[in-house]
Amino acid sequence: MTLEKAVAPLLLAFLAFLAPAGARAQAITLSSTTSTEQSGLFAHLLPAFRKATGIDVKVVAVGTGQAIDIARRGDADALLVHDTAAEEKFVAEGFATRRFNVMYNDFVLVGPRSDPAGARGRDIVAALQKIAAANAPFISRGDKSGTHAAELRHWGAQARGTGYRECGCGMGPALNIGAATNGYVLTDRGTWLSFRNRGDLAVLVEGDARLFNQYGVMAVNPARHPHVKSAQAQKFVDWILSPAGQASIASYRIGGEQLFFGNAGK
């Protein structure tokens, strides 16, 4: 190899480093939920955003509670999660100036196809009461995620039975445990549809209005964290709320079934 050929790649890399920041690829960090990542939505959505804006998105996918904490610390530029009460508190504390509805799907209760607890139906609270009374295995995420928050609302103050277990894990691992133990699990429909290791699990409760699952999007407030990439984060918020972003959400399907439904502005 000649000296010129050996030096050329180093020279190109050095020139790229010297290029103005605007000429190099832009990137933001998005703090979000395991459901949006594990369902495959972001793998579908983010290439369309990059094509439209030239901005890359690094996703940190954790439970909603953790995702909000990451943004609260200023370790993310934007936030897309699904616990409306916690999101409104985040705005009230000044960590974002505004929260927007972006999309929704629903939660479903899955469990053994034979349904030994007799939970099958359309009433999520009644189903949990039956699971508790039967001391049947119930796998809770126990991770302060949006799904965990929804689950706790449905359990209320009632006893949960000796079969109740918290895994402190994401939606996919919780479903894996449920499949391995013939347990009951509350899951978002998006992750369920993309989940391949179902074993004997089946959807037992769906259609209860209380299982509605709203997602919100926010840009982190630069007044609280001046280092955040607020302009690029706002471009992400604007795009995902735009007709193009909403159409991209609607076009994501598994087995012909739509996983998320855009409702920006509603």
Helices (H) and strands (E) in the chain, counts: 11, 12
CATH for 91? 3.40.190.10
Residues 85 and 126 grouped into a single domain: no
Q: Is the pLDDT of residue 14 over 80?
A: no
- Could you give the angle at the alpha carbon of 198 between the alpha carbons of 197 and 204, nearest 5°? 160
Average pLDDT over residues 198-223: 97
Residues 90 and 115 grouped into a single domain: no
pTM to 2 decimal places: 0.84
Residues 124 and 193 grouped into a single domain: yes
Q: Could you report the per-residue pLDDT of 143-189, keeping only the tens digit for each?
A: 999 999 999 999 999 999 999 999 999 999 999 999 999 999 999 99
Q: Is the pLDDT of residue 6 over 50?
A: no
Average pLDDT over residues 79-89: 96
Residues 221 and 194 grouped into a single domain: no
Residues 40 and 166 grouped into a single domain: no
pLDDT at 266: 79
Structural domain contains residue 67: yes
Residues 178 and 80 grouped into a single domain: no
Average pLDDT over residues 238-246: 98
Structural domain contains residue 4: no
Residues 133 and 192 grouped into a single domain: yes
pLDDT at 4: 46
pLDDT at 25: 54
d(CA 9, CA 19): 15
More confident: 34 or 50: 50
Q: Is the pLDDT of residue 19 over 60?
A: no
pLDDT at 40: 93
Structural domain total, the chain: 2
d(CA 170, CA 29): 20
Counting Cβ atoms within 10 Å, is residue 243 exposed (0-12), middle (13-18) or buried (19+)? exposed
Q: How far is CA 147 from CA 72, 127, 192, 249, in A?
A: 20, 17, 13, 20
Q: Is the pLDDT of residue 249 over 70?
A: yes
Place of tokens 């990439």: 229
Residues 141 and 193 grouped into a single domain: yes
Calculate the average pLDDT of the chain.
91
Residue 56, domain extent = 26-104+213-262
d(CA 69, CA 85): 14
Beta strand 164-166 with 257-258: parallel, antiparallel or unpaired? unpaired
Average pLDDT over residues 20-41: 80
Average pLDDT over residues 213-236: 97
Structural domain contains residue 21: no
pLDDT at 16: 42
State which amino acid sits at residue 182: N
Residues 253 and 223 grouped into a single domain: yes
